[in-house]
Amino acid sequence: MTTVVEIENLSKRFVIRKEKSLKERVVNFGRSRRFREDFWALRDVDLAISSGSTIGLIGPNGSGKSTLLKMIGGILQPDTGTVRLRGRLAALLELGAGFHPDLTGRENVYLNASILGLTREETNRYFDGIVEFSGIERFIDTQVKFYSSGMYVRLAFAVAVHVDPDILLVDEVLAVGDEPFQRKCLDRIRTFQAEGRTIVLVTHGLDQVAEFCDRAVVLEQGSVVVDGTPRDALRTLRSDFEEERVAAQERARELAGQSAAPPARFTGVSVRSESGAVADAGGGPTLQAGEGLHVAMEIEAERPMDGCTIEVGVTSALGTTVTSTSTSLLDSPLPRLEGTRRFAFYLRSLPLVPDDYNVRVTLRDALGTELHHVPVAAQFAVEGRATSLGFLATETDFVVL
């Protein structure tokens, strides 16, 4: 495959100034660096993106995703390193970028299209399609400063996808549109994929990464920590999010004068299949579609606790919830937790498609406050021949009438 985006040793630095006013900045001008701090948004990033691929850039807020996309789009220049592109590029980097608020929607279509490289004749040819796609025909001759955020993104996306780009850069803007427009945009992205276009997508919608991307890159503090399949990338990112969440809970307990450790917690979780299969070298038992799963757990309480509930769920390898239940939903109140107690759930039937799955467990107190949450307490796999997509293994017959 041809490499259409080549990034080598890319770094970008911003200066954070600590002065609170113009007077302080003037007084401190030329003094020591005590009043300024260097922030490296990107550090030594190397990436090569092949034609026809769809790559997701993911990571926590402030990790450098949008900065990297702006560097690819040529909006920001690197402090070190290079970005090389091959082909026509269209970018949706932020809401209303390239629009002038005092111009009408019609005038901004021509302005934005020219910025993206279209001639006036090409824009004339695409104009009706752009307006129809945006769905804002009634307001096309209204100044865009009166547009809602959704109308902004509709018109911007409509222009970008009619530029006939070889490379499309998308930065989170799809989250602004309403659901029908989001479906229309995602359908257009699928069309681009089928046509062999290259798409670089920044999003916090991790399910979109799993659905659309064939590769994902995790950025943290300006550096690439994972570059691989969406499954590997999302697993790493969700694990990092969980560690941050647990650390935040512990800090909140310490600030409240409580012990960092919860008063009750899971000390062990094990699973076995209905037929008795237990963990194997792959990390868990293997089930047939429709087979039941036995989930056993041990809970240790530092003090007597009444009214607690246990939740157990099955998630996909990417962390999406497939099914979940709890002692309250089952109308099975827990006895008092004191010392070490053991419990079990028997999920009698799991008609799942062949894939890898995780078991998630959560313990809550009588007020519903989370005491302990284990997102990957155990693992199992389902084997067999896949005859459907999604999670549910349906038995389907097809006949010609």
Least confident of 325-334, 345-354, 389-398: 389-398
Residues 88-101: tens digit of each pLDDT: 888 777 655 668 88
What long-range pairs does 123-127 form, CB within 8 A, spacing at least 24? Answer: 126/162
Q: How far apart (Å, rounded) are the C-alpha atoms in residues 14 and 40?
A: 6
Give the pLDDT band of residue 386 (cuts 50, 70, 90).
confident
Which amino acid, 232? Answer: D
Q: Which of 92, 36, 46 is nearest to 222 (CA)?
A: 46
Least confident of 33-47, 58-72, 137-151, 304-318: 33-47
H helices, E strands: number in the chain:
8, 17
DSSP 8-state code for residue 392: B
Residue 277, pLDDT > 90, answer no
pLDDT at 240: 82
The answer to whether the beta carbons of residues 316 and 382 sit under 8 Å apart is no
Q: Which of 66, 79, 75, 57 is nearest to 224 (CA)?
A: 57
pLDDT at 330: 95
Architecture, CATH, for domain 263-274+284-383: Distorted Sandwich (2.70)
pLDDT at 157: 83
pLDDT at 28: 59
Residue 183 Rama label (left phi>0; alpha psi -120 to 50; beta): alpha
The strand pair at 293-305 and 264-273 is best described as: antiparallel
What long-range pairs does 122-129 form, CB within 8 A, spacing at least 24? Answer: 126/162, 129/162
pLDDT at 293: 94
pLDDT at 176: 59
Give the pLDDT band of residue 335 (cuts 50, 70, 90).
very high
Domain boundaries, the chain: 1-87+206-260, 263-274+284-383
pLDDT at 235: 83
The answer to whether the beta carbons of residues 87 and 4 sit under 8 Å apart is yes
pLDDT at 8: 94
Instruction: Count other C-beta atoms under 10 Å from residue 160's C-beta.
Output: 24
The answer to whether the beta carbons of residues 359 and 379 sit under 8 Å apart is yes
Q: Show Cβ contacts of residue 1 under 8 Å, excluding neighbours closer than 6 positions.
A: 50, 51, 52, 53
Edge-first strand listing for the sheet containing 370-383? 286-288, 370-383, 355-364, 309-316, 321-326
pLDDT at 142: 93
Least confident of 173-177, 384-388, 389-393: 173-177
Edge-first strand listing for the sheet containing 80-85? 36-50, 3-17, 80-85
Domains 1-87+206-260 and 263-274+284-383 share a fold: no
Rounded to an integer, the average pLDDT of 249-270 is 80
Q: How far apart (Å, rounded) are the C-alpha atoms in residues 107 and 155?
A: 12
* Alpha-carbon torsion, ordered 92, 94, 97, 99, to 10 deg: 90
Instruction: Count other C-beta atoms under 10 Å from residue 222's C-beta.
Output: 23
| Structure-model confidence comparison of residues 261 and 189, the more confident one | 189
Residue 373, pLDDT > 60, answer yes
Average pLDDT, rounded, for the chain: 85
Q: How far apart (Å, rounded) are the C-alpha atoms in residues 213 and 205?
A: 12
Q: How far apart (Å, rounded) are the C-alpha atoms in residues 212 and 241?
A: 22
Give the pLDDT band of residue 23 (cuts 50, 70, 90).
low
Superfamily grouping for domain 1-87+206-260: P-loop containing nucleotide triphosphate hydrolases (3.40.50.300)
Q: Show Cβ contacts of residue 333 under 8 Å, excluding neighbours closer than 6 positions.
A: 307, 327
Q: How far apart (Å, rounded) are the C-alpha atoms in residues 84 and 64?
A: 19
pLDDT at 49: 93
pLDDT at 283: 67
